[in-house]
Amino acid sequence: MKRYFLIALCALACACTSVKDNRPVLRFDENGEFRILQFTDLHYVYKDSRSDIMLERMEELLDFEKPDLVVFTGDLIYAPPADSAYLDMLSHITRRGLPFAICFGNHDDNWDKTNTELYDLVRTVPGNLFPDRGDNPSPDYTVEILSHGSDKIASLLWLFDSGTYLYEYKMYEPVHTDQVCWYYQTSKAYTAANGGEPVPSLAFLHIPFPEYRAELPRVGFYGEPVCDPELNSGLFNAMLECGDVMGVFCGHDHNNDYTINNRGIMLAYGRYSGGDTVYNDIPNGGRVIVLKENSRSFSTWVTLKGGERIDYQEYSRMQ
How does pLDDT run across 235-262, given as a tens digit for each residue? 999 999 999 999 999 999 999 999 999 9
Kindly state whether residue 75 falls inside one of the protein's structural domains. Answer: yes
pLDDT of residue 171: 87
In a domain, 251, yes or no: yes
169 in any annotated domain: yes
Task: Look at residue 121 and tell me if it is in a domain.
Answer: yes
Please give the pLDDT value at position 244. 97
Q: What is the 3-state secondary structure (H, E, C) of the chain?
A: CCCCHHHHHHHHHHCCCCCCCCCCCEECCCCCEEEEEEEECCCECCCCHHHHHHHHHHHHHHHHHCCCEEEEECCCECCCCHHHHHHHHHHHHHCCCCCEEEECCCCCCCCCCCHHHHHHHHCCCCCECCCCCCCCCCCCEEEEEECCCCCCEEEEEEECCCCCEECCCCEECCCCHHHHHHHHHHHHHHHHHCCCCCCCEEEECCCCCHHHHCCCCCECCECCCCCCCCCCCCHHHHHHHHCCEEEEEECCCCCECCEEEECCEEEEECCECCCCCCCCCCCCCEEEEEEECCCCCEEEEEECHHHCEEEEEEHHHCC
Average pLDDT over residues 74-95: 94
Indicate if the pLDDT at residue 118 is higher than 90: yes
What is this structure's pTM? 0.92
The proportion of the chain whose per-residue pLDDT surpasses 70, expressed as a percent, equals 92
Per-residue model confidence as pLDDT tens digits over 2-41: 343 333 333 433 333 333 467 899 999 999 999 999 999 9
Q: Is the pLDDT of residue 272 over 90?
A: yes
Q: How confident is the model at residue 318 (pLDDT cuts 50, 70, 90)?
A: low
- Say how many domains are in the chain: 1
The pLDDT score that the predictor gives to residue 12 is 38
Does 275 fall in a domain?
yes
Q: What is the CATH number of the domain that holds 44?
A: 3.60.21.10
The residue segments making up the domain with residue 84 are: 23-317
For position 11, what pLDDT does the model report? Answer: 41
| Residue 12 belongs to some domain of the structure | no
Mean pLDDT score, 224-242: 95
Query: Does 1 map to a domain?
Result: no
In tens, the pLDDT along 147-181 reads 998 999 999 999 999 988 888 888 898 999 999 99
Whether residue 101 lies inside any domain: the answer is yes
